[in-house]
Structure 1
Amino acid sequence: MSYAIIGFGKMGQALAKAFARSGMEVSVASTRDPESFASAAAAIGPGVMPKTLTDAVKADTIFLAVRFESHRDVANALRTWRGKTVIDVTNAYGVPPEELGGQPSSKVVGQAFAGARLVKGFNHLVAAVLGQDPAVQGGRRVVFLASDDDGAAAEIAALAENLGFSPIKLGGLSEGGLLVQARGHSWGQLIFKDLVKFN
């Protein structure tokens, strides 16, 4: 299984740190030339590999960590996303609900990534918290996941555990997914909730 993070801003770098801590390789890409962020990637860890967008989207599992407004630009990098799992880390804060056709933002993202299995996740924490070690006082920091594809949700839950987090599945995008999505100028009820699960 190969992994890529598209978007190398604060959220993308926070995700890259999770991979580096776990000793897992991950490709990172943005719309910029890979050389422009190679030193930042190297500072995170040797397994964080700067790539062009064209090369990064060859990965099996892709974290979409760009601004919501940029998701279609990334989606256009492939004709079909069949066989790939896309984790939607975007937040559509400030995007009017009517622009989304009254749908959850992840449904809109899913339509752009035709054929992909889409999971909403890793977006409810600010980057500074997401980038920290998820092992907290004997527990593990929670990440919320929502998907209309149970198999994809289970796969990303397993990945979240490998990255040291404690995943909590919220159900489908139109139900649980709304708890971790922005709508217009309001946030879902679980956005910014920094929770730790103790076994």
Structure 2
Amino acid sequence: MHFGTIGAGTVAQAIAGHLVAAGHEVTLSNSRGPDTLLDVVTWLGPLASAGTTAEAAATDMVFLAVRWPQVGDALAGLPEWDGRILVDTTNNLEPAQPVVTGLGVETASEFVAGRAPGARVVKAFNTLHARYIAADPRHAQGRQLLFYAGDDEAAKADFHAVADTIGFAPVDAGTLRDGGRLMQIGGPLSALHALRQD
């Protein structure tokens, strides 16, 4: 599979590093253009490339890894998703305050899904601090748990397989509504770091 990232900060680089280490191609993008990512892709190695946001969004599985205030702009004007998988790693947190953005009954990933029509959205990685994402998820005591949620069972199965391949212990938390509530800030799975013994 060919993967893409919308955003190229700490979380995106950590995920890309795991994917590259597993032998996958990754196209990273940000709002400032591919030329600003040359050092990052050089560090990640030959399987990593820098592209536009549209190029990253055209890959098989795309990771949205931007700050919450940037979500709308990051997803605006992209080509049709046509059923490709969008993995939402964001939290609805305004970093300047910081305060959690209220969305009413809608979860953060339902909000994201509404701005990426045609995408099969999977929520993942938002419950982990960046240092746990970047670290090797395989430990002597077990593998790092990785919760995920989504409304499309096939998309969740594809994500589960990828997460397992790169070393995490993936756990299905349910739908974007129910699982999303468990996973978003204030939910019982938020910032929960645990290992699973295989």
TM over 0.5: yes
CA distance in structure 2 between the aligned counterparts of 1:115 and 1:16, rounded to whole angstroms? 24
Q: Name 1:62's counterpart in structure 2.
A: 62
Higher mean C-alpha displacement, 160-169 vs 132-141: 132-141
Q: Once superposed, what is the RMSD of the aligned Cα atoms?
A: 1.4
Offset at 1:96? 3.0
Offset at 1:112? 0.3
Offset at 1:79? 4.3
Q: Name 2:124's counterpart in structure 1.
A: 121
Whether the 8 Å contact between 2:11 and 2:65 is mirrored in structure 1 is yes
Aligned residue pairs, count: 193
Higher mean C-alpha displacement, 113-122 vs 32-41: 32-41
CA distance in structure 1 between the aligned counterparts of 2:26 and 2:110, rounded to whole angstroms? 26
Structure 1 counterpart of 2:156, from 150, 153, 157: 153
Question: Is 1:197 aligned with 2:196?
Answer: yes
Distance 1:111 1:170, change over 3 A: same
C-alpha offsets along residues 6-34 of structure 1, whole Å, 9 cap, x if unaligned? 11111111111111222221111001121
Offset at 1:137? 0.7
Runs (4 or more) in structure 1 with deviation over 6 Å come to none
Offset at 1:144? 0.5
For 2:193, what is the secondary structure of its paired residue? coil
CA distance in structure 1 between the aligned counterparts of 2:6 and 2:101, rounded to whole angstroms? 24
Gaps of 5+ in 1: none
C-alpha offsets along residues 25-64 of structure 1, whole Å, 9 cap, x if unaligned? 1111001121212112211232121111122111121000
Offset at 1:73? 1.6
C-alpha offsets along residues 56-99 of structure 1, whole Å, 9 cap, x if unaligned? 111121000011221222222324222211000000022431xx
Q: What is the TM-score when the length of structure 2 is the normalising length?
A: 0.92
Tell me the amino acid that sits aligned with residue 128 of structure 1. Answer: R
Structure possessing the higher relative contact order (Cα contacts under 8 Å, 6 or more residues apart):
1
CA distance in structure 2 between the aligned counterparts of 1:114 and 1:181, rounded to whole angstroms? 21
Whether the 8 Å contact between 1:5 and 1:62 is mirrored in structure 2 is yes
